[in-house]
Structure formats: C-alpha cells, structure tokens
Amino acid sequence: MRAHLGDQLVIESPTTGATRRDGEIVGLHHTDGTPPYDVRWSDTDEVTLVFPGPDAHIRHVEHGPGANGPSRRPDMDEPGAASGRNPPGRAPNPGDIGRRVATERKRQGLTRAETARRARMAPEYLDYFEEQPAEPSMATLLNLAAALGTSVAALRGSGIDLPPGQGQALLHPRLRDLSPDECRARLSTHGVGRVAVSTPDGPAVVPVNYEVVDEAIAFRTAPDSVPAAAVGTDVAFEVDHLDEAMSQGWSVLVVGPARGVTEPDAVRRLADRAHTEPWAGGGRDMWVSIQPERLTGRRISPADQ
C-alpha cells in the first residue's frame, strides 16, 4: 500500500463492501508512501495515526501537472466537508503545541508550506494544526521537531515549570574547558543569560535578554531594577545550555566592568540591532554594557567526543 498526501484512506465493511469510514491522508511517515498515515477523518475532523488493515484501501487523487483539470482533494469543496481552514467567522483557537510550532516556525522565517514539506505532511493539516486544538501522533511530532530543529519535549512544553538537568548523569562524562573562540560562538549574537550583581540586600542573579555587540554584552533594563545595580561595578554574566536527552551541555562565563550606555548614537545603535524586546515587558529603556575582561567556558560531553 502506497499513498500520497491528499489521497483518501477508505475503510470498507468486510461483509457488504460499503464504506464504513474515510478520511484524507494528511501526514506521511515514510518517504515511499507506505503506512502508517496521519488521517483526518471526514466524520469527526479529527486526525489520528492509522495502520491500515485488510479492510482498507487507498483512493488516489490526481497529483501534479499531468492531472486532468486542477488538482483538488476529494469533497474538500462540498458543503460540510472537513477542511484545514477555519469556518467563516470562527477565530483561530490553536492548542499549546500548535502555538509553539507556529512561534518557532515564524522565528525561523519559514512558511507553512516549507515547514509542511520538511515534515512530510499536507499544508492543510499544518494550517489546521496551528489554528485548532489537535492531538498529533508521536511520529508527527517527531517530524515537526526535526523540521524545526527542536525537540518533541520543547514542542509539548514539558518541564516548563521544572529546573533543567533532572536527568541522569552520563556514565563516562568528559568535562573540558572551552577556548575563547568556542565561548564566543556559544554566546552567539543574542539570547537569555544571567547577570550576577551586588545589591543593598545582598547578591542577586537575574535573567536578562542580551545582545552581543562588538564583543560586549548589552542588555536593557529599568533604572530602578536589580540588573541596573550592575552599572559602575565588576559583574559576572553567565549563559548555558543543557541537552536533557543526552545529559550534556555547556556554560560560558563573562566577567568585566558594567557601564550605562547613555550616548544617543550608541543607544540608537543598540536599539537598531536588538533581536527582541525584553521578555519581562514594561519600560526597559536603560542599556547596560559589560566589557569582557575574562571569558571562560566548560562543556560536559561523553568521554568519546
């Protein structure tokens, strides 16, 4: 049995041959079109993972420029037919996974069509998935995660309220120092890191959205906030990443003096190069710059890497 996206899976009664159920194949899990399939059933509009049995067959739809007339999926234009688009007047109401997929897709500048192609699913299914609550199969989630370069856990939002690193340690871990160039590469151009400062109430470590501009760390904050206490002092700034599945990760530490950026041209330049607004929101127009005097990092990996 082989199918293309948009074909119909038909389940027939073994005694009468009448159609018991049919649905559109909206997701493939093998490039050769063999089962299983993600099927959106015409009677419920739900999508499920299906391993076709002996009572099932594929009803093929014409594909490509060689087809007679415009290609369309069966019954998609008929009244009451299932569709990946919202009915008129109904606002999109995606589930949490759909929101995460859409957010990551847009962050990477990918269209729905390109993402669907990478994930080997029908674009209409991705439309539906991003706009309506859905319960995709594990195979679909794996395909979407691979298409977006992320993990199934990230798409599901699992562990969002738990600290990272609760998995088991590697059997034979290797801890090594990172070179300055490796540290700069992991700092990248922007992200979320933690700045350690001294306050009247004692030491504090707070997360900030940061930019790397001319090798300096810059972040926006409010004048009366904890991160603003960094100005005029030597501070530590840390960024890290953990791979929960592989029990490995890295951390980079920057130490140096912090100053407030007040020159109009310098402020404008930082604002123009900012990749995102501070996640904390509110009025955060004070720029702070940390000039690295010491840059160190470490990485934990398997002993054979």
CATH number of the domain where residue 219 is located: 2.30.110.10
Lowest mean pLDDT among 34-48, 54-68, 85-99, 162-176: 85-99
Q: How far is 113 from 121, CA to CA, in rounded Å?
A: 9
In a domain, 272, yes or no: yes
The CATH number covering residue 136 comes to 1.10.260.40
Q: Which residues contact 243 (CB under 8 A, 6 or more apart)?
A: 249
pTM of the model: 0.57
What mean pLDDT do residues 86-106 have? 71
Half-sphere exposure of 130 (CA within 13 A, CB side): 19
Closest CA to 199 of 238, 232, 227, 222: 227
The angle that helices 96-107 and 112-119 make with each other, rounded to 10 degrees, is 110
What mean pLDDT do residues 224-244 have? 93
Same domain, 180 and 280: yes
Closest CA to 131 of 94, 99, 156, 95: 94
Looking at residue 121, the DSSP 8-state letter turns out to be B
- Residues facing residue 287 across a β-bridge: 220, 261
Lowest mean pLDDT among 7-11, 38-42, 54-58, 79-83: 79-83
Q: Whole-number mean pLDDT of the chain?
A: 83
- Does residue 288 carry a pLDDT above 50? yes
Q: Which residue has the higher pLDDT, 168 or 23?
A: 23
Same domain, 204 and 264: yes
In a domain, 199, yes or no: yes
Range of the structural domain that residue 186 is part of: 173-302
- Of 156, 191, 225, the one marking the end of a domain is 156
Same domain, 266 and 297: yes
Q: Are 97 and 134 in contact (CB under 8 A)?
A: yes
- Does residue 127 carry a pLDDT above 90? no
In a domain, 100, yes or no: yes
Instruction: Note the pLDDT of residue 155.
Output: 85
pLDDT digits 0-9 by tens, 249-286: 999 999 999 999 999 999 999 999 898 889 888 889 89
Same domain, 142 and 204: no
**Amino acid in the structure at residue 27:** G
What mean pLDDT do residues 103-115 have? 90
Q: Are 116 and 88 in contact (CB under 8 A)?
A: no
In a domain, 261, yes or no: yes
Same domain, 179 and 103: no
Same domain, 213 and 294: yes
Same domain, 238 and 290: yes
Instruction: Note the pLDDT of residue 305.
Output: 75
Instruction: Note the pLDDT of residue 80.
Output: 28
- Does residue 162 carry a pLDDT above 90? no
Element of type H or E holding 97 = helix 96-107
- Of 109, 125, 156, the one marking the end of a domain is 156
Same domain, 110 and 177: no
195-222 b/e with 16+ CB inside 10 Å = b? bebeeeeeeeebebbbbbbeebbbbbbe
In a domain, 278, yes or no: yes
* Long-range own/partner contacts, residues 60-68 (CB < 8 A, 24 or more apart): 60/3, 60/4, 60/7, 61/4, 61/6, 61/7, 61/8, 63/4, 63/6
In a domain, 280, yes or no: yes
Same domain, 186 and 259: yes
274-291 b/e with 16+ CB inside 10 Å = b? beeebeeeeebebbbbbe
Same domain, 144 and 180: no
Same domain, 204 and 294: yes
Half-sphere exposure of 2 (CA within 13 A, CB side): 3
What mean pLDDT do residues 43-61 have? 84
Lowest mean pLDDT among 146-150, 162-166, 194-198: 162-166
Q: Which residue has the higher pLDDT, 141 or 228?
A: 228
Instruction: Note the pLDDT of residue 79.
Output: 28
Instruction: Note the pLDDT of residue 81.
Output: 30
Tokens of 80: 């009451």
- Residues facing residue 200 across a β-bridge: none
Q: How far is 195 from 267, CA to CA, in rounded Å?
A: 20
Q: How many domains does the chain have?
A: 2
Q: Which residue has the higher pLDDT, 64 or 45?
A: 45
Same domain, 219 and 141: no
- Does residue 63 carry a pLDDT above 70? no
Please list the helix, strand and coil fractions of the chain in percent, rounded to the nearest 5, in that order.
20, 35, 45
**pLDDT band at 85; cut points 50, 70, 90:** very low
E-only strand ranges, the chain: 8-12, 19-28, 37-41, 47-50, 56-59, 173-177, 190-199, 202-213, 216-221, 234-243, 248-261, 286-290, 294-302
Lowest mean pLDDT among 51-60, 89-98, 255-264, 281-290: 89-98
What mean pLDDT do residues 120-139 have? 80
In a domain, 208, yes or no: yes
CB atoms closer than 10 angstroms to residue 51: 8
Instruction: Note the pLDDT of residue 231.
Output: 96
Instruction: Note the pLDDT of residue 166.
Output: 74
In a domain, 283, yes or no: yes
